[in-house]
Each structure stands twice: as C-alpha cells, then as structure tokens.
Amino acid sequence: MNIFADQPLLPTIWFIIIGVFWIGYLILEGFDFGVGMMMSKVFSKNEKEKRLLLNTIGPVWDGNEVWLVTGGAATFAAFPFWYASLFSALYIPLTLALVFLILRVVAIDYRGKQNTEKWINFWNASISVSSFFLAFLVGALLGITSTGLPINENGDVVGAFTWIFNPFTYIGGLGIVLFSYLQGLAFIALKTDGEVRYRASKTLVRLMPLGILPCVIWVLYLQFTGISAGILSWVMVVFAVISCAFAYLKARAGREGWTFVGTSLFITTGALAIFLALYPNVFPSTLDPAYSLNIANASSSPYTLTIMTWLACLMLPFIILYQAWGYYMFRKRLTVEHIPDAHDATDLATMSKGSH
C-alpha cells in the first residue's frame, strides 16, 4: 500500500525535508555532543587529550548547529500549527535546551582564555554537562513529538506538564544521549591516532550492544502503534539492524571510517522508520486520533509552501556541499603531539607589546 497516496504533495515534501534536517542534525551534532561528553575524566585522561578532542570538532561544531536552526525555521514556516503546539506544550524543556546550547557555545569559546586549572576544569565540566543535557532534551522532544501528548480538538495540549509523565521523554532522551556518545566514539576513532584512537575503538565495541537499546525500543514501539507502519517502515527497521551490525563488526576490525558510516546509517534508517510510521501525523494526540496534527491540518498555505520549495531546491544543495567541503578540508587525523603546550591569552598580549 502506498502511504503517500491521498496526501497533499507539498506538505509531504516538507515533511520529508524537515526529516532530512533532523537526520543531518542527529548524525553531525550527535558526534559533537558525544565528544563534548567525553570532556569528563571518564574518557579523557589529561588536559592535552581534552584539547585533542576539542580540536577534532573545532572546525565543524558550530556549522553542525545550522541543521537545528534551519529545521526549526522550516517547521515554523511549513507547519505553523505543529510549531505552535510544540512550543506551547514544551516551553520549559525547549527553554532549558536553549540555555544549555548557549552554555555549551560559551564554554567551548572561553575554556582557552586562561591557563589555570580551576578555570579550565570549570569550562570542561560545562562542556560535558551541557552536551549531555542537550542530547537528552533533543531526544526527549523528538520522543514526545513522535509518540504524542493529550492534544484536544483545538490543537492545545491538556495539562501543562504532561510531558514529564510520558515514558518516551526518558526513552527518547536516553536514546539520543547513548547514540551521541557512540557516534562521538566513532568520530574520535576516525579523527585521531595513538592511544586516544584505540581507547575510543575499544569503548565503542564494548558499549554498542547496550547503547542502542533505547533507540530500538523507540523504533519498535512506533512500528506496532504508528498509523502508517507498514512494509516500508519495517524495511527501514531491517536496514537499521544491518547498519548496526555492520558498524559493530567494522569497529571490531579497526575500520573506523566504515564504523562511522555504519553508525550514521543506523540513526538514518531508524529515524526514517519513525517518520514513516508517524506519517501523515506530525504530532499525535493521545486523547483521540482525530485530534492529531497532521501534514494537512498543520501546514501553511500552498502558496507559502511553493515559495519555500523553490528556496529549498536552491539552498539545501549549497548547505550540503559547503559542509561536505569543510569536512574534506579537515579530514586528516590528529594526535596529542599536534597539540602545543597551553599558554595564557595574557602572555600573548605581553609578547605582542614587547615585539613593537
């Protein structure tokens, strides 16, 4: 059965585009969050290793956030009623996500401004904590959106804090936290050499079987409850299993590039299975399926979507090519030996004055 039959074309296109934005964000910002969580003493053993971790994401981490910003803007423009219901129901967790997003940016930029143990430890902890909670909140919001809240006939969520009692607040949050950590390990194994590389590979092999469990529960739940769960979404589930097995075997063989491809395909196919099972709903109602927001009743006018589609056709390939070029330019491995000794920013200012 064709699940796209009898559904409006432009809203369907934008449902797919928003899905692409989220998948890109989970793949790229996933390893960002994972590397950030590794700034704790559990993984990185000394300051040079922490600086090595940050240098692997240094050229790309802020560009990865483009996918979230663009996805949010696309949701606002293409599905304003979905956006309004989401933000009114989940105002507190979304505000917390914004706070942790700001903290993470500030921490990455500020940690190298002074060369004192207290200063550096504070910002290292800030990077680790903000990365963890950002991953958890992103996963929680996606879990809630895909499984639903008590939405009434007006599109309003009944009960301000209903999301707290939704089990997929925690399953989705934990799922993205653990995936991000696995993706971060795969990226570090790919981008570094020496002891850090082998430590990341061994940790990835050890944690992967357990780390994928929340995502598996999430995906399977929607396959059995989603209104459009059918052969296509189940095919994506099969591909997700194959991708995970592929990543695990390549990690054991020390093939880091293929390992990263495998983990990226796992989240891609898993997310596709969720989106396909959810379609045409964008925000299911647990009160009555008739109250659910879908691509038809939550979308903008055809005129608005037509203009947006032309803009997306022009800009989306540019975004993808530009980011691909950036990753290609910074593709070489880094080692601890590439990291210079730490110095205080005030020392540079003093040296600069003395040279005149």
The helix/strand/coil state of 294 is strand
Q: What is the reported pLDDT for 343?
A: 63
Q: What is the reported pLDDT for 33?
A: 96
Angle, helix 231-252 to helix 213-225, in steps of 10 degrees: 170
b/e code 293-318 from CB counts within 10 Å (16+ = b): bbbeebbbeeeebeebbeebeeebee
Place of tokens 């950030």: 36
Residue 2: CB partners within 8 Å, gap ≥ 6?
none
- Beta bridge pairs of residue 285: 149
Residue 223: CB partners within 8 Å, gap ≥ 6?
229, 233, 234, 237, 273, 277
Q: What is the reported pLDDT for 296?
A: 92
Q: What is the spatial distance between Cα 74 and Cα 149, in angstroms, rounded to a whole number?
A: 22
Q: What is the spatial distance between Cα 173 and Cα 220, in angstroms, rounded to a whole number?
A: 16
pLDDT lower than 50: segments of the chain: 348-349, 351-356
Q: Are 204 and 186 in contact (CB under 8 A)?
A: yes
Q: What is the spatial distance between Cα 77 and Cα 268, in angstroms, rounded to a whole number?
A: 24
Q: What is the reported pLDDT for 355?
A: 42
Q: What is the reported pLDDT for 2?
A: 64
